[in-house]
Every structure is written in C-alpha cells, then in structure tokens.
C-alpha cells in the first residue's frame, strides 16, 4: 500500500462524518459531481412513493392542507435557513435559481430607489445570472456593468443600485469574500444580492451575520434535492415589507383564496412565492434534507477543506509536473468545495475518467472539475481519483 492510500485509510477512519455516506445510494464509482447533481439520499424513493401513492393518489386535494403541501415552501425554507446562517422566516423555496435571480435582482433595484441607475454583475458568473441581469437592467431602465468581484469595491458609487455576485465561482471553485464585499456594497448605499449555488450546503455563509440583503441558491447541488429541485430565495427580514416582487403571483398574495383582482402582497417570506409550488420536487427536497439532521455546517467545511487539500496533494504527488494546473486557490479562505484543474484535452480526459469510474465534469474551455461533497465523499475517493487521473495522463 502506498503512503497516500494508507493516509486516506487513516483519514477516513478518523472522519466523524464518515457514517453519513451510508445515508446515500452510492456504489463504487468515485462520484465527484455533487456540485452539479447531488447524490440520492437512500430514503427519498420511499418517501416520494408515499407522496405519490397516498398523498396524491388517496388524499388528492385534501393534501394541500392535510399533508402540509400549501405551507411547504416556507417550511422547507426554514430547514435550509440554518445551513446558510439565516434565522427562520426569511427563506422560501420554489422556482428555479434563474427565476429567483430575476426576483431578487429586480426586487433589489426597486428597493434601491430611482436615483440609483446602475447594476453591477459578476462578469465571471454562471451564464444564466448574467443573462437575467441584462434583462433585469433593461426592464428597470438601469445600465448594467459586468466586472470581476475584485473590481466591485472600486466601481461602487452613489449611482449603484444593486450588485449580483457569486459566492463561489462555478468554474474555478474560487470563494469570494462575502463579508467584505457586502460591507463595501452597503457603504455605497447599494444592495447586495448573492448567488449561493456553490456554497449552500458546502460551507458556512452567514447571511444574517453579514447583513446580506437578498440571496438565491440551488438545492440540487450540495443539498441533494434531486434533478431540478426548486431553488431558494432569501429576503432579509427588515427588507421584506418593502420587497416588491416583479413576479407577484397569486401564491404571494396576502389572501390567495380571496381571489381579489387587486394585488396585496403577503408579509414575510411568502412574498417571494409566485404560483403553485412543484410539490413532487419540493417534497423530494424536504426528505433529502433529513440527511442533515445532527450535522453542523462547520464540520462539513472542515472536512471539505481536508478533502480538497488531500486531493491536491495526491494530484501533485502522482502527476508529472506541468500536466495539470490547479486553478482553485490553494488558500483555504478563497476555496469553495471543488477543485478545478486546467488540463490539455480536458474534455477527452474527463470522458476517459468517467469510463474508469471517476465522475467529475468538464467546463469549457479546458477545465476538469471535481466537486467534493463532505457528506459522502471519502478520502479514499480523493486518492483514487488522483491516481486514476495520473494514470490516464501518464
């Protein structure tokens, strides 16, 4: 046994989170794509079958009240809240991340007031955020400027309405400084909107602590909610009474069954809703969140850093110098829960890695992406992935 396989064994034996892996349906594939689609928690199929057979099949319409369907968006929001550092009553689940980016950004611009004429957006963002920001700017009559998160503090001013930023860069795995960027945005009198797709469930976010105004995030990545599971929207409590959603559907009405032709927004997180919730996906997500019972996000972060450190060490030990170049920062304070490696022929290399039972993904133009989900990824996985990669490249 090599020194690194031995170390992996010891690290796994000492890992307090190791027993959580058995809560997931996994096989001997090294699954490092949980930042794209989280693995299936093993109990979800039975729960979903019960939702379909009994709640839908037998109770039918009664389930809206008797099975708690109607209140699911806020109830599940309150289960996600502690994972992102939010007190109850500020997170609502529903719609896709893209739709929530729209609600949050237009809502932020409306909160900022008419004299603030510019929106800033992260130029390195996952494309959908940029597309939505462009449309939001056009609809609200604001100008849009795209720049890197590092350039944001220097670009802020009395005309800045809102800034849309990613907490972790989806391509490089770089973690941006949410506390200091939020503080700089507030010092300029603007609103901070954060996209937490690659941090929710992977590391502490501290939304309340850092005074974030609005935030959105995915639930099918590190929260394992299942393909297309609904996203979440956070609106800070103090802003809720003035939050003016650009998609004021009947589900966000103060009296939805009053069927009034006039709109009156509900108080609280409910105001972030639009239409009828996608109950099947939503209840799959709710069940998936059970795996977090008794798990602290700080322990998850500690393991995530240990896993990515160990993977980087294995890559560097096994791979000929110069064959791959880490693009994820080595510094812990700037690293999300993934490792991205720049590599010639990255698309072809990933295809072959997957054939060898190591599943990561490829991002244009030359990036191999490996996501580490501390709830189920082992140190042995990290070692095997690095060893398989090196064998392919060598």
List residues binding ligand PLP (CB under 6 A).
96-98, 126, 128-129, 166, 170, 195, 197-198, 218, 231
Question: C-beta of 52: minimal distance to ligand PLP in Å?
Answer: 23
Question: C-beta of 100: minimal distance to ligand PLP in Å?
Answer: 8
Question: C-beta of 122: minimal distance to ligand PLP in Å?
Answer: 9
Which CB atom, from 117 or from 128, has the smaller least distance to ligand PLP? 128
Has 126 been labeled as part of a binding site?
A: yes
Which CB atom, from 217 or from 265, has the smaller least distance to ligand PLP? 217
Q: Could you tell me if 341 and 324 are in contact, meaning their C-beta atoms sit under 8 angstroms apart?
A: yes
Which CB atom, from 11 or from 359, has the smaller least distance to ligand PLP? 359
Which CB atom, from 88 or from 329, has the smaller least distance to ligand PLP? 329
d(CA 294, CA 359): 28
Is 362 catalytic? The answer is no
Neighbouring residues of 203: CB distance < 8 A, sequence distance ≥ 6: 168, 175, 297, 300, 301, 304, 336, 337
Is 232 catalytic? The answer is no
Is 352 catalytic? The answer is no
Has 220 been labeled as part of a binding site?
A: yes
Has 276 been labeled as part of a binding site?
A: yes
d(CA 152, CA 147): 7
* DSSP state letter for 220: S
Is 376 catalytic? The answer is no
Has 70 been labeled as part of a binding site?
A: no
Has 28 been labeled as part of a binding site?
A: no
Q: Which residue among the candidates 273, 369, 384, 387 is catalytic per the annotation?
A: 369
Q: What is the DSSP string of 239-285?
A: GGGG---SS--GGGBSSGGG--SS--BPSGGGGG--SS--HHHHHHH
Q: What is the dihedral of CA 164, 167, 171, 172, to 10 degrees?
A: 130
The helix/strand count (H/E) of the chain reads as 12, 13
Question: C-beta of 124: minimal distance to ligand PLP in Å?
Answer: 10
Q: Could you tell me if 342 and 363 are in contact, meaning their C-beta atoms sit under 8 angstroms apart?
A: no
Q: Which segments of 254-365 does DSSP mark as H helices, in order?
A: 279-288, 297-318, 346-355
Which CB atom, from 15 or from 129, has the smaller least distance to ligand PLP? 129
Has 140 been labeled as part of a binding site?
A: no
Residues annotated within the binding site are 97-98, 126-129, 195, 198, 220, 250, 276
Residues annotated within the binding site for pyridoxal 5'-phosphate are 97-98, 126-129, 195, 198, 220, 250, 276
Residues noted as catalytic: 126, 195, 220-221, 369
């Amino acid at each position: 046994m090599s020194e690194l396989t031995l170390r992996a064994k010891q690290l796994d034996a000492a890992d307090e989170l190791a027993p959580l892996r058995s809560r997931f349906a996994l096989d001997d594939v090294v699954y490092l794509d949980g930042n794209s689609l989280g693995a299936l928690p093993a109990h979800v199929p039975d729960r979903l079958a019960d939702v379909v057979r009994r709640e839908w099949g037998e109770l039918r319409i009664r389930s809206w009240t008797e099975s708690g369907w109607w209140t699911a968006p806020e109830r599940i929001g309150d289960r996600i809240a502690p994972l992102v550092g939010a007190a109850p009553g500020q997170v609502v689940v529903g719609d896709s991340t893209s739709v929530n980016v729209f609600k949050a950004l237009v809502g932020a611009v409306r909160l900022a007031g008419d004299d603030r004429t510019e929106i800033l957006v992260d130029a390195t963002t996952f494309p959908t955020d940029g597309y939505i920001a462009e449309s939001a700017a056009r609809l609200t009559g604001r100008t849009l400027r795209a720049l890197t998160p590092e350039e944001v503090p220097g670009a802020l001013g009395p005309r800045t309405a809102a800034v849309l930023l990613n907490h972790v860069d989806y391509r490089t795995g770089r973690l941006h400084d949410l506390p200091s960027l939020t503080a700089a945005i507030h010092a300029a009198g603007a609103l901070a909107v954060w996209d937490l797709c690659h941090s929710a469930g992977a590391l502490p976010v501290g939304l309340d602590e850092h005074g974030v105004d609005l935030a959105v995030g995915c639930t099918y990545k590190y929260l394992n909610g299942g393909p297309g599971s609904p996203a979440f929207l956070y609106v800070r409590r103090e802003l809720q009474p003035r939050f003016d959603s650009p998609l004021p559907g009947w589900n966000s009405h103060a009296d939805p069954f009053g069927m009034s032709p006039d709109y009156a927004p509900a108080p609280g997180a409910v105001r972030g809703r639009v239409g009828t919730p996608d109950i099947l996906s939503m209840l799959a997500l709710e069940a998936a969140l059970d795996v977090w019972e008794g798990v602290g996000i700080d322990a998850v972060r500690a393991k995530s850093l240990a896993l990515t450190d160990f993977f980087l060490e294995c890559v560097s030990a096994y791979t000929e110098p110069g064959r791959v170049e880490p693009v994820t920062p080595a510094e812990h304070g700037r690293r999300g829960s993934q490792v991205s490696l720049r590599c010639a022929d990255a698309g072809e290399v990933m295809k072959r890695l997957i054939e060898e039972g190591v599943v990561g993904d490829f991002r244009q133009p030359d990036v191999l992406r490996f996501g580490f989900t501390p709830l189920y990824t082992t140190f042995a996985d990290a070692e095997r992935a690095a060893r398989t990669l090196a064998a392919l490249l060598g």
